[in-house]
Structure 1
Amino acid sequence: MKKDLTKRATRLARHSFLALPLATLISGCTSLGISGEIPNTRQHNARTLESLTQPSDQQACYDREKEPYTPLVDAHFHPRPFGGPAINAEKLHAMLEGQGVRFVNYFGIGQILELDSGCNYYLDCPGVTAMPSIKNDFVNGMETVAYPSDNLHITLSMTFMDLAHPDDIVSLIELYDREYPGMFSWSGELNVVKQALLKNNHEPASLENIDQWGPFMDVLRERGIPVTFHSDLGNDANPTQFLPLMEHILETYPKNKIVWAHMGLSKELGNMDPARHVEILSGLLDTYPKLMLDISWDVLYNEYHQWGEIYIPFLNAYSTRILPGTDFVAANYKADDQYGKELEVTSRVLRALDDEAFENIALGANYFRLMDLNYHAPKVCPADDNGNR
């Protein structure tokens, strides 16, 4: 693994801007013209959902110099907020399609705030309880049927699961089967431990709780349903405080398709040594072939100042194990352009990936393979000897 990363890092270093830390790439680098948004690369993706049904070799190749660096897939998206009204479904679909997103995971907020609290965002309301619920999932299911889209593939996800109290999870899955037969093909984002929610009476799962997950994890495994876990790696005081929880999940359920949201990072862990972080992730990916990571949430890009220097070789080396996403929460008070801004920030790292990794992550090859979907990622146009496509 170390030799592979070194080899890839050497190749990347030949392209000077790829060797820079991401903080340099996204701010203050006016000589490269990439301070903040890149004006000439923010065109929206013109590729249709229908075009992606064609085999890769029958599609026009993807020109990275002319087509967007933002992904075709948003594998971590919340169409409903923690509390208060959401962006309406038709506007939401238009927003996603307009940004070139063709595949989206609808993660309901599993831990919604008390309905009579008048609170929209949990951090604004310490003491207001956020409890697991089926409410958001059911609304997502109804709206997906009521407002179909020809140019957007929506994957519905079960997010109701209370991982600290798993006894009724299987019976509730059976309720979903009756009410929405065959419609929910993902699970999560499920909170194992989310420190940001502790002031809202979030109860983290324990090692003992994890041992009790067998019945519902068996259902997910048998159906080939991936599950996305939010499990904080740790915090600034103890960067690996909660790592044993994820290690125990993977050891106990190695045959399940598990996605670790945000690569375990959070606002509470803003200064972890990137080399140590990559070492942990590499070890887990090497040990557990079913594990994948998502790189959603702008916290990853805002907090990690050596992101490019350390992480780009890692993402290239493990490019078949990574999913893109925004972690956007569709509260209706947000500005119309907010999704586009968050998509741009969370996509900046994709610019620096090699072509194989870009195809796997941004163009959807990993997502289609994980979901066994009959869609195909376009091939990236090859570059000539001078680096031109």
Structure 2
Amino acid sequence: MPCRQRRRSASTREVVINSYAFRTGRRFAVVGAVLTATAVVASPAGAGAARGCFDRAKEPYTSVVDSHLHFRPFGGRAIPFEEVTGYLHKAGVRHASVYGIGQTLPVDSGCTYYLDCPGTPVAPSMKNDLVNAANYVEAKPQDPALTLSMTFMDLNRPETIPPGIALYDKEFPGKFRWAGEVNLVKQALFPNHHTPATNKNIEDWAPFMKVLRERGIPITIHADLGNDREPTKYLPLMEETLRRYPHNKIVWAHMGLSKELATLDPDQHIRILERLLDAYPRLALDLSWRVLEDQYFSKPGVREKYAAFLDRYPTRAIPGTDFVASRNKDYKVYEEELEVTSRINKALGDKAFRGIALGENYFRLNGVKETAPEVCKAAR
């Protein structure tokens, strides 16, 4: 696996305490007297960080933030909470948004993944969020730093959302600082009774969007652009959302791409994104899910187009894996998904790399009191 070929040499693992300590211990084993456990917690990411900057020639390209991570599966058994946080620490991820999955399979379905059970209804629920919150409160994680997210929101029934937020406030006051991933339109769920939200639904979001806006809480929205037959069929729904709520922090999951849309012209896609980013300064893009790499970035000449686009908008995108922590997965799966979703980082200029891979955009969006290091100029 490519990421495993970029492990640090022992010479980079000196104990130096600086402001970039959260990137400590990124994918290397602590060997005997080389480092104590305390030193691992305090040390920065290698020699580049010791100089106060990040050396891209020596350090991994994988992102230190996972803004899109499902700690709970659609159904079936989950990987234990502290095992997932162990994955993050081992992989060098120091900040993550803790998603449940609001759209859950029935408890008696016997299914782990909705695509395996067409016809089985998948409906929004609070249970995954509440389990995540209980685990979070019990574990009190410090490294990685975690942000709980509300994923229960049924955008087709917006009247149910404010009471749900009030319940979360009562049971876990101040703990939920993110919202989503929630589904405006997700074609993959159509066989499981999901329908797109309507313009009237979007209008009726106003009460809960006001709560999120006043609290500075970002919301990650899954909104498919369209499909191979009609590439922009559902774009008007996202445009209506942005038109009505321009002052909310809205994160567009997967840049609107999906398995159903594998043949969209990258130039057309980038033009759409540029138009919306220019019109709505609070819109951010989510680069999670390996579908972006597999269906788009990996094609000849396409990676360079998207990298150039992100370099033009270096403050407007955040990274993520879209890993779903079902018990049939393990650390190797997470490591691979982190590496695959981070490959775009290699093609980025230094400013976009700092904003995306090193987490500066996520910190700012999430109100985190953390600053990513500058990239060492000599490294490029």
TM-score higher than 0.5 here?
Answer: yes
1:49–1:102: 8 Å Cα contact kept in structure 2? no
After TM superposition, the structure 1 = structure 2 runs for residues 91-106 of structure 1, keeping only pairs within 5 Å, are 91-106=83-98
Higher relative CO (Cα under 8 Å, sequence separation at least 6) belongs to 1
Matched residue type, 2:138: A
Identify the match of residue 332 of structure 2 among 331, 337, 345. Answer: 337
Matched residue type, 2:316: R
User: Following TM superposition, by how much is the alpha carbon of 1:147 offset from its aligned partner in structure 2, in angstroms?
Assistant: 1.4
User: Following TM superposition, by how much is the alpha carbon of 1:148 offset from its aligned partner in structure 2, in angstroms?
Assistant: 2.3
| Matches of 2:217 and 2:4, distance apart in 1 | 39
More moved, 198-207 vs 41-50: 41-50
User: Following TM superposition, by how much is the alpha carbon of 1:168 offset from its aligned partner in structure 2, in angstroms?
Assistant: 1.6
Root-mean-square deviation (Å): 1.9
User: Percent identity between the aligned chains?
Assistant: 54
Counterpart in the other structure of 1:41: 6
User: Following TM superposition, by how much is the alpha carbon of 1:332 offset from its aligned partner in structure 2, in angstroms?
Assistant: 0.7
After TM superposition, the structure 1 = structure 2 runs for residues 203-222 of structure 1, keeping only pairs within 5 Å, are 203-222=195-214
Counterpart in the other structure of 1:75: 67
Counterpart in the other structure of 1:4: none
| Matches of 2:101 and 2:81, distance apart in 1 | 16
Counterpart in the other structure of 1:13: none
| Matches of 1:153 and 1:215, distance apart in 2 | 30
After TM superposition, the structure 1 = structure 2 runs for residues 166-181 of structure 1, keeping only pairs within 5 Å, are 166-181=158-173
CA pair 342-57 structure 1, distance change in 2 beyond 3 A = closer
More moved, 141-150 vs 339-348: 141-150
CA pair 42-298 structure 1, distance change in 2 beyond 3 A = farther
| Matches of 2:42 and 2:277, distance apart in 1 | 33
| Matches of 1:318 and 1:129, distance apart in 2 | 39
Matched residue type, 2:167: L
After TM superposition, the structure 1 = structure 2 runs for residues 134-213 of structure 1, keeping only pairs within 5 Å, are 134-213=126-205
2:24–2:41: 8 Å Cα contact kept in structure 1? no
Cα deviation code 1:291-329 (max 9, x no counterpart): 000110000010012431321100111110000000000
Q: Which runs of 5+ in 2 are unaligned?
A: 9-22, 27-39
Cα deviation code 1:219-270 (max 9, x no counterpart): 0000000000000000000000000000000000000000000000000000
| Matches of 1:187 and 1:42, distance apart in 2 | 34
CA pair 164-219 structure 1, distance change in 2 beyond 3 A = same
Q: Which runs of 5+ in 1 are unaligned?
A: 1-35
| Matches of 2:181 and 2:213, distance apart in 1 | 16
Cα deviation code 1:141-195 (max 9, x no counterpart): 0001111223111100001010011112101100000000000000000000000
More moved, 308-317 vs 231-240: 308-317
Matched residue type, 2:371: H
User: Following TM superposition, by how much is the alpha carbon of 1:58 offset from its aligned partner in structure 2, in angstroms?
Assistant: 8.9
Counterpart in the other structure of 2:357: 362
| Matches of 1:207 and 1:118, distance apart in 2 | 35
CA pair 88-205 structure 1, distance change in 2 beyond 3 A = same
SS at match of 2:69: strand
| Matches of 2:51 and 2:176, distance apart in 1 | 30
| Matches of 1:355 and 1:372, distance apart in 2 | 22
CA pair 59-152 structure 1, distance change in 2 beyond 3 A = farther
CA pair 91-320 structure 1, distance change in 2 beyond 3 A = same
| Matches of 2:51 and 2:74, distance apart in 1 | 40
Matched residue type, 1:46: G
SS at match of 1:248: helix
SS at match of 2:53: coil
Counterpart in the other structure of 2:343: 348
1:57–1:379: 8 Å Cα contact kept in structure 2? no
2:3–2:60: 8 Å Cα contact kept in structure 1? no
Counterpart in the other structure of 2:37: none
CA pair 50-90 structure 1, distance change in 2 beyond 3 A = same
TM-score (norm. length: structure 2): 0.88
Counterpart in the other structure of 1:11: none
Matched residue type, 1:103: H
Matched residue type, 2:340: V
User: Following TM superposition, by how much is the alpha carbon of 1:376 offset from its aligned partner in structure 2, in angstroms?
Assistant: 1.1
TM-score (norm. length: structure 1): 0.86
Counterpart in the other structure of 2:247: 255
SS at match of 2:54: coil
SS at match of 1:118: coil
Counterpart in the other structure of 1:265: 257
| Matches of 1:49 and 1:199, distance apart in 2 | 47
